[in-house]
Amino acid sequence: MAYKTVNPFTGEEVKSFEIMSKQAIDAKLKTAAACYEDWRKNSFEDRKKIVQKVADLMRERSDVLAALITLEMGKRIKESKGEIELAASIYAYYATQAEKFLADEPLSPEKGSAYIRKEPIGVLLGVEPWNYPFYQVARFAAPNIMAGNCILLKHASNVPQCALAIEKLFIDAGAPEGLYTNLFISSDKIEDLIADPVIKAVSLTGSEGAGASVAAACGKNLKKSVLELGGSDPFIVLEDAELDKTVKWAVYGRMQNCGQACTAAKRFIVMDKVYDEFLEKFKAALETMEPGDPMLEDTKLGPLSSKTALEDLEEQVEKSVKAGAKLLTGGKRFDRKGNFMQPTILTDIPENAEAFHEELFGPVASVYRVHTEEEAVALANATRFGLGGAIFTTDEKRAQKLAERINAGMVFINHPTGSQPDLPFGGTNQSGYGRELSYLGIDEFLNKKLVRTSDINDR
């Protein structure tokens, strides 16, 4: 697939970029490998200077970078600015915390002494998606560069200008050549790249299909992978929840990034006692969301990232309705230019409907009525995914007990699944494996080397 900027608001092709030749990629691999030999020896202070500078430049350039996100994948400009700030805060977090996270870990063997030294492993490949083009890269690049690794990054083919802008941030921050390298490479060449001896490990954020193919190539070449894949997060509303505030979070949880988030609230599981009131208020709120130009600050609903994304989502809704789901509101694209999908609610969804078992990547909410906690847990876990989940209630203890029964990598109480630098992020089951962010995120691509000292006379 070619690298192209296609404006999701107008459908216009703005710019395209050449895929790199094999020779160009080989040269980038060589440069990254050479860079690693120096970078791994640098002090934390030296690494920090570059990574903190990336954060500072990102904040300085926020307006320009945010506009690029909006141009290429249609995110509302306010949200794009929020993404830039979040990404900058991740670089700043690892710049200041990495040394502490990577300090030697003393052990207490019966005799002698021992410690674990946390060393980098080499050049890593990142494969990243378009939905948060700066934030997703930050989660991978910031901790690993602070750990002494070097990065080659294959970004999604619809956000080439964001991809180049990230590489430029590193260059302008004074990074040595090869520390962070953008690759315009088609996804069918990733397997060959993974086989190259320079690449030591791979991190992919994206769909299950892409994850499976990267994991298979890593397996074949005995290389580690981290996978951050899709999700179909439950949003459980118990009968004692503060309803108005819960509805506000439900709207945010489903509609952030126009519903195109792995951790968006996708399945609303609501206790019978509050179901009708929740649904009425949720529907009323979604129906106020009018489409508009994503570059304008007060726009409430932006376009989906691509025409294909819109067509696929519309088809999933149609198929679900054919299978017996009820359409409460929305269901179609807006009759206007741009990839605009109506905010949609499906209810009474049978188990054979796509909405029941597939991820809906856009502004479509599936709402379920339940009568007991048992039923809520069973429905929450009736998915092959296991990324995040949310529970709304005024009884914190009850929520924490319930959280233990949800099969997911993250459970949030009284907030939709979220992300911040100091909390770990990741899933279980088909949502992938490994963790990003917090101290866990810097721990994935390290050689945890044991150094053991014995008395030579000990047996």
Q: Does 129 engage in binding with ligand NAP (CB under 6 A)?
A: yes
Q: Does 1 engage in binding with ligand NAP (CB under 6 A)?
A: yes
- Angle ∠(36,37,38) on CA atoms, nearest 5: 90
Q: Which of 54, 58, 190, 193 binds ligand NAP (CB under 6 A)?
A: 190
How many chain residues interact with ligand NAP (CB under 6 A)? 30
Q: Which of 8, 143, 230, 362 binds ligand NAP (CB under 6 A)?
A: 230
SS3 314: helix
Q: Does 434 engage in binding with ligand NAP (CB under 6 A)?
A: no
Q: Which long-range contacts (CB under 8 A, 24 or more apart) does 207-216 make?
A: 208/430, 210/127, 211/432, 214/127, 214/190
Site for ligand NAP in 207-226 (CB under 6 A): 207, 209-210, 213-214
CB atoms within 10 A of CB 242: 13
Q: Does 184 engage in binding with ligand NAP (CB under 6 A)?
A: no
What is the 3-class SS of 28-51, one letter each residue? HHHHHHHHHHHHCCCCHHHHHHHH
CB nearer ligand NAP, residue 44 or residue 233? 233
SS3 382: coil
Residue 86: CB minimum distance to ligand NAP, A: 13
State the pairing for strand pair 364-370/344-347. parallel
Residues belonging to the active site: 228, 262
CA 98 to each of CA 55, 102, 249: distance values in angstroms, whole numbers, following the listed order: 15, 6, 33
Helix (H) or strand (E) holding 251: helix 243-255
**Region binding ligand NAP by CB under 6 A among candidate stretches 248-256, 282-290, 342-350, 425-433:** 425-433
The binding track of 234-273 with respect to ligand NAP, each residue x by CB under 6 A or -, is ----------------------------x-----------
- Smallest CA-to-CA distance from 88 within 123, 121, 53, 140 is with 53
**Region binding ligand NAP by CB under 6 A among candidate stretches 48-56, 84-92, 200-208, 320-328:** 200-208
Q: Give the CB-side neighbour count of residue 295, counting CA atoms within 13 A.
A: 11
Backbone angles phi, psi at 62, to 5 degrees: -50, -45
Q: Does 399 engage in binding with ligand NAP (CB under 6 A)?
A: no
The binding track of 356-375 with respect to ligand NAP, each residue x by CB under 6 A or -, is ---x-x--------------
Q: What is the number of the residue whose Cβ is closest to ligand NAP?
A: 206
Binding residues vs ligand NAP (CB under 6 A): 1, 127-131, 154-157, 187, 190, 205-207, 209-210, 213-214, 228-231, 262, 359, 361, 387, 427, 431-432
